[in-house]
Amino acid sequence: MKKLISILCSLLIITASVASCGNNNEKKDNNTTTTTKASVSVTSEDTAKVAENTTTTTSAADESTDSPASSSESETTAKPEETTKETSASETTAAPETTSETTKATTEATTEATTEATTKTTTEATTTTTASTTTAEVKPASTGIAKNSIDMAANLKLGWNLGNTLDATGNGLNSETSWGQPKTTKELIQYIKKCGFTSIRIPVSWSNHVDDDNVIDAAWMARVKEVVDYAYDSGLYIILNSHHDCDRYYPSDENYDKASEYIRDVWYQISYQFADYDERLIFESMNEPRLTGTNIEWWFQSNDAKGVAAIKNIVKLNQVFVDTVRKQNKGYNNTRFLMVPSYAASPDFALNSAFEMPTDTISGKLIVSVHAYSPYDFAMNKNGYTEWNSSRKNELGFIRRLDQKFIQKGYGVVIGEFGATNKNNLEDRCAWAKDYTSLAASYGISCFLWDNGGIKVGEENFGMIDRNSLKVYFPELLEAYLSGYAESGQNNQAAA
């Protein structure tokens, strides 16, 4: 019971902390009220303890502030040659059985209990928390966004990754700037839209911001929400993921139970907090899940037993992710578009016969996520070749194969990361960029440029936007990326 109370008190501050960020743009419908209460068995004595603790934790949440961090060198990881890097409204009860016991119950209690605590009294909040069971509102599918995942994937067009920022590994709010990037501002996100990007992918590492029970730190959740709001209010499509958390969802047989618990716990909390954001917000289950630290971390033969087993575990973890979001029955989560990767998010492993898409309670809402810095010798390998001409377009043949396996069977495809490192070959990179995005756009595949801020000649330098001065480092290259979608009829704004 002490553990349950401790987790409950920790979670009660999440929504209060989110509210304290100063976000006045309510995402849920004005004419509806969402009231989800968990079935939590707590005695009157325990209730008194929770009430006492709630007063303290809610107050602490209101006082939390962001603080800048010192910059340090960004993390980069070289990859081997073979790798391509990186319907109507209804009511139903909440609390899916697949979510771990304490995190599930306390997360459902958090939003309403904390909201009431901040607007009424602590006693009322606690009473709400300990209520038995009620229903959670389910919103109808959004209209005018996309009729299925193929249309949705095409709508995203050219996207931009907020790289090396909220995904930076470290503790506390200072981790956002620990890899050398400045704190994200609303002006930056608005500039991204002005530059012609239609979408933004917001990589977030959660594992360094959770406690032993996988409860997400309230201040961290609030900061992520603040950045998501910048993008949401700017009219961008958004992909929100779980990024450098591979140690938590390590896809081995031995680690599967722990991995599935982490996926359930974290995605239950994330999807609960963002339930009332419409379908412009996409959830992506994992980032490049793989057997880190092994000789097959980035590549293995298609029939390698250990590698195939890892793919099968990723398939199961993707299913846990989909089930967790869907069974919550809250907001837009029943109809939200969900993205799932294969091993290392590699197109080759997505095309592996062991990889299958999850089952879903609604058709046409699942998207395949791949990363493709392709061809590797041009796009990433600093010792590879530097010249590009159209005769090399056949090296992008994986795009056609993705169409055959997924798009032709009703699944949208998004290349969540791509780019070509700077080899002092801007003209060739421009030619490659136009060929790449033109081909992807012709199949309705959207591409998200990885931007880690690096602009020097070398490996894994994919910088495009100067986040301090709000300028484009390589305007010709950005225009080449955009031109691929313009020529396909998926026209973006001209780069500023």
Give Cα separations from 189 to 1, 150, 186, 225, 346 (angstroms).
44, 26, 5, 14, 28
* Long-range contact pairs involving 140-147 (C-beta distance under 8 Å, separation at least 24): 140/87, 140/88, 140/89, 140/335, 141/87, 141/279, 141/332, 141/335, 142/278, 142/279, 142/280, 142/332, 142/335, 145/278, 145/279, 145/280, 146/279, 146/337, 147/364
Distance CA(302)–CA(311), nearest Å, equals 10
Distance CA(413)–CA(399), nearest Å, equals 9
CA neighbor of 75 nearest in space, from 162, 163, 171, 161: 163
| 303 burial via Cβ count (<10 Å: 0-12, 13-18, 19+) | exposed
What residues act catalytically?
Answer: 243, 288, 417
| In contact, 228 and 282? CB cutoff 8 Å | no
CA neighbor of 264 nearest in space, from 141, 143, 96: 96
Distance CA(128)–CA(37), nearest Å, equals 7
Strand partners, 370: 415
